[in-house]
């Protein structure tokens, strides 16, 4: 099989390949004992920037589960680290920034860095190792959407409602647009590095977009996500959580070939909203990974049935794999999807 015939790429082009492609957000990570073994003694972001380690972690779930794609082991804050921003990932918490970006002069400080100066060597090297081993299995590159990155950067760390970033949009729209425009260029640069090194698909994660009103999403966020993804010359997937109220906007005016749907919205309903020109991705409820297999199996069959309403369907979770997941549950889902 040629890479271009891979079920994931066929589905993103709008075809219905013989088998439903399946991969899992956060498939490379803590649910795998072989991942936990490799990570001992190495901080998260250092692991991402060690090419042979990042490559090996990327490949682990492909070998174990037989998924239809690898997703590059990295993090949405890696391009910020490469830009010289002081960021760490605190285990069990998430990204933490030493100097939050809250005022117009903070925005001046970070946006003075030219995204074209980011050194992507370690990323390119890791992607090269991965794609050489993957052969005809596609590698998905990714980046954080400007709003989700800003939700961390303005707050200084994880938050529930991202109040400071959402306040900045209204109290100082000029600074907000400068910051979000810069973040779009940083993420774009990260996507291009992965593309140029051999990734076959890119996914933009706007995990926290669900905290926005539809009006704010349209006015302050969508144009920047559009800039991060437009004309990237690879198939694109755009994912968010809680984006039901503005799901059609997630198509980004035709820039997204696939739209990720969370577990709250049945795929047939989502497909009706998204229309005939987009592939749907999702949306197994991550909570059900902890249920007995017959319960999970019935849910996965229902997701696949509802996905038939779309032009094409990529089976995935509605959000990432929870760390405590039994990896055998993921393998069973892949076997089921490929048997139907
Ligand atoms: C919001 C976000 C982040 N990072 C990411 C997002 C968007 C996706 C989503 O919504 O889940 C993206 C991401 N992060 C990671 C990947 C790798 C590829 C994959 O398997 O999907 C991807 C695509 C690895 C990771 N990124 C992180 C881990 C866990 C780190 C560890 O093993 O200690 C992994 C495997 C750390 C991280 N990084 C981030 C968080 C909230 C955390 C969790 C902190 C924790 O609970 O410990 C920021």
> What is the ipTM score, two decimals?
0.94
CB of 44 shorter than 6 A to ligand 1: yes
CB of 25 shorter than 6 A to ligand 1: yes
CB of 332 shorter than 6 A to ligand 1: no
The best mutation among 28, 29, 80 to test binding of ligand 1, ranked by most ligand atoms within 8 Å of the C-beta, falls on 29
Ligand 1 centroid – CA 35 distance (Å): 13
Annotated ligand binding at 26? The verdict is: yes
CB of 76 shorter than 6 A to ligand 1: yes
Instruction: Supply the DSSP string of 274-294, one letter for each residue.
Output: H-TT-EEEEEE-GGGGGS-HH
**What's the CATH number for 3-339?**
3.20.20.210
Distance (Å, rounded) from C-alpha 222 to C-alpha 206?
Answer: 10
Distance (Å, rounded) from C-alpha 148 to C-alpha 164?
Answer: 12
Token look-up 């390119």 returns 124
Q: Under a CB-based contact definition with an 8 Å cutoff, are residues 247 and 271 in contact?
A: no
| Residue 19: DSSP 8-state | S
- Rounded to the nearest 5 degrees, what angle is found at the Cα of 266, between the Cα atoms of 289 and 305? 80
Q: What are residue 258's DSSP bridge partners?
A: 237, 279
Q: What tens digit of pLDDT does each residue of 7-58 get?
A: 999 999 999 999 999 999 999 999 999 999 999 999 999 999 999 999 999 9
Coil vs helix vs strand at 236: strand
Ligand 1 centroid – CA 26 distance (Å): 7
Residue 170 to residues 144, 186, 219, 290: CA-CA distances in angstroms? 22, 23, 10, 41
Q: What tens digit of pLDDT does each residue of 231-256 get?
A: 999 999 999 999 999 999 999 999 99
Cα–chain center distance at 157: 19
């Amino acid at each position: 099989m040629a890479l271009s015939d891979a079920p994931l790429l066929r589905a993103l082009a709008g075809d219905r390949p013989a088998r439903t492609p399946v991969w899992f957000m956060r498939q490379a990570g803590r649910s795998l004992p072989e991942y936990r073994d490799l990570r001992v003694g190495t901080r998260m972001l250092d692991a991402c920037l060690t090419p042979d380690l990042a490559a090996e972690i990327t490949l682990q779930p492909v070998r174990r589960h037989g998924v239809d794609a690898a997703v590059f082991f990295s993090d949405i804050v890696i391009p910020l680290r490469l830009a010289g921003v002081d960021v760490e990932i605190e285990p069990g918490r998430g990204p933490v920034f030493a100097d939050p970006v809250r005022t117009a002069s903070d925005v001046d400080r970070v946006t003075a860095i030219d995204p074209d100066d980011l050194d992507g060597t370690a990323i390119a090297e890791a992607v090269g190792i991965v794609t050489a081993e993957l052969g005809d299995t596609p590698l998905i590159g990714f980046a954080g959407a400007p709003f989700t990155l800003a939700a961390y950067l303005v707050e200084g760390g994880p938050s529930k409602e991202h109040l400071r970033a959402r306040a900045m949009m209204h109290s100082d729209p000029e600074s907000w647009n400068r910051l979000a425009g810069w973040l779009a260029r940083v993420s774009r640069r990260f996507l291009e590095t992965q593309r140029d090194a051999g990734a076959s698909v890119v996914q933009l994660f706007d995990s926290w977009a669900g905290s926005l009103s539809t009006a704010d999403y349209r006015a302050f966020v969508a144009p920047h996500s559009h800039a991060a993804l437009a004309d990237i010359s690879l198939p694109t997937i755009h994912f968010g959580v809680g984006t039901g109220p503005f799901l059609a906007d997630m198509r980004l005016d035709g820039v997204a070939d696939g739209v990720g749907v969370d577990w709250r919205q049945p795929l047939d309903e989502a497909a009706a909203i998204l229309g005939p020109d987009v592939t749907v991705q999702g949306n197994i409820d991550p909570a059900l990974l902890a249920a007995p297999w017959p319960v999970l199996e019935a849910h996965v069959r229902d997701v696949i049935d509802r996905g038939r309403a779309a032009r094409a369907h990529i089976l995935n979770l509605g959000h990432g794999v929870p760390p405590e997941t039994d990896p055998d549950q993921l393998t069973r889902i892949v076997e089921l999807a490929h048997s139907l």
